[in-house]
Amino acid sequence: MECVPNVSEGRNCQTITELASVLQTTPGISLLDSSSDIDHNRAVFTYVGEPEAMLAGTEAFCRRAFDLIDMTTHTGGHPRLGAVDVVPFVPLRGVEMAEAVDFAHRLGRAVGEMGVPVYFYEEAALSPQRRDLTDVRRGEYESLPSRLAEPSGRPDAGPATFNPRSGACIIGARRPLIAFNVNLGTTDLDVAQRIARTVRYSNGGFRAVKAMGVELKELGVVQVSMNLTDYTQTPIHRVVEAIRSEAARYGVPVVGSELVGLTPLEALDGVVRYYLQLHEFSSAKIIESHLL
């Protein structure tokens, strides 16, 4: 099992280090990666482990994050509902989705008992309206007081009362997702937003792409920030080439891209096949995939 919590703190190194150390000191868990971003003001942790250790470690992680992160002063380019914004469980080799869903629900009850409202999303959603993360996060942290007061905004676990310090927490189970961002050589946020609309599903773009335009003030560029929710349907290279082509119409170059967190090897198959015209390539051609 893999777990990839996103927290609303990407600037305070000490907080990020303390959260990482909660995971590093939990027996039975391996922290594989932690990435943080100053502009997004957000950090992502990726870890794997034995099922029960994952649950204990993630509970401890959430408790510590609620201690350390204060949403009342949080700003950043990325939409968020709370201090521990999203916690997805991802079944890896040989684990069933049903088990990941069960974990999400168990963690949700524990987080609810910490006094934080919880929404379940994607495979762990209890209603179709809450399947999509974008819908669940609409209105962001700032909308929580009014939302929690309405029946349609009632949390799936925890109190239906606004927690100003921690906001709300979105917990779920999903297939592996690629958090992939493409940077454009302009400071014009409008260009990134237009391009985001052309590639994302919600506006007629690719089926497995969620995208938004974000300004990266630190770097003096704008970014098309994406989640590729199913790389078997919509592969990375197709999205990059579409962005390159759309950017060219504004005379804007692609200046770089980034993967946030970890990616399954299989997601690179399409990249290699397309650019090298290596039609028969698959992960089976990689020595390491045979040594697992």
User: Catalytic residue numbers?
Assistant: 78
Identity at 51, one-letter amino acid code: P
Instruction: Give whichever of 108 and 176 is closer to a second copy, judged by the CB atom.
Output: 176
Q: How far is the CB of 231 from a second copy (least distance, A)?
A: 13
> Judged by CB under 8 A, which of 143, 161, 245, 289 binds a second copy?
289
Task: Tell me if 167 sits within 8 A of 80, measured CB to CB.
Answer: yes
Sign, Cα dihedral of 246, 252, 256, 257: negative
Residue 285, interface with a second copy (CB under 8 A)?
Answer: yes
Q: How far is the CB of 163 from a second copy (least distance, A)?
A: 33
Task: Tell me if 116 sits within 8 A of 175, measured CB to CB.
Answer: no
Task: Tell me if 19 sits within 8 A of 29, measured CB to CB.
Answer: no
Task: Please choose, out of 68-76, 97-105, 164-172, 277-285, the segment that lies near a second copy by the rule CB under 8 A.
Answer: 277-285
> Judged by CB under 8 A, which of 17, 21, 50, 92 binds a second copy?
92
Residue 280, interface with a second copy (CB under 8 A)?
Answer: yes
Task: Please choose, out of 56-64, 136-144, 196-204, 281-289, the segment that lies near a second copy by the rule CB under 8 A.
Answer: 281-289
Residues paired with residue 254 on neighbouring β-strands, in sequence order:
184
Question: Residue holding tokens 């150390």?
Answer: 21
> What is the CB neighbour count within 10 angstroms for residue 76?
17
Q: Which of residues 94-153 bind a second copy (CB under 8 A)?
A: none
Q: Which of residues 160-199 bind a second copy (CB under 8 A)?
A: 176
Instruction: Give whichever of 32 and 114 is closer to a second copy, judged by the CB atom.
Output: 32
Residue 277, interface with a second copy (CB under 8 A)?
Answer: yes
Q: How far is CA 276 from CA 237, 268, 286, in A?
A: 12, 12, 15
Task: Please choose, out of 27-35, 71-79, 81-89, 223-231, the segment that lies near a second copy by the rule CB under 8 A.
Answer: 27-35
> What is the CB neighbour count within 10 angstroms for residue 20?
18
How many residues bind a second copy, per CB under 8 A?
40
Q: How far is CA 232 from CA 133, 236, 266, 267, 284, in A?
A: 20, 9, 9, 7, 16
- Helices 51-68 and 97-113, packing angle to 10 deg: 40
Q: How far is the CB of 60 from a second copy (least distance, A)?
A: 21
Q: Binding string to a second copy for residues 223 to 242, with x set by CB under 8 A, is what?
A: -------------xx--x--
Structural element, H or E, at residue 9: none
Residue 53, interface with a second copy (CB under 8 A)?
Answer: no
Residue 219, interface with a second copy (CB under 8 A)?
Answer: no
Give the separation between CA 283 and CA 9, rounded to whole angstroms: 35
> What is the CB neighbour count within 10 angstroms for residue 9?
24
Instruction: Give whichever of 153 and 264 is closer to a second copy, judged by the CB atom.
Output: 264
Residues near a second copy (CB under 8 A): 2, 30, 32-33, 46, 48, 92, 176, 236-237, 240, 254-259, 262-265, 268, 271-272, 275-281, 284-292
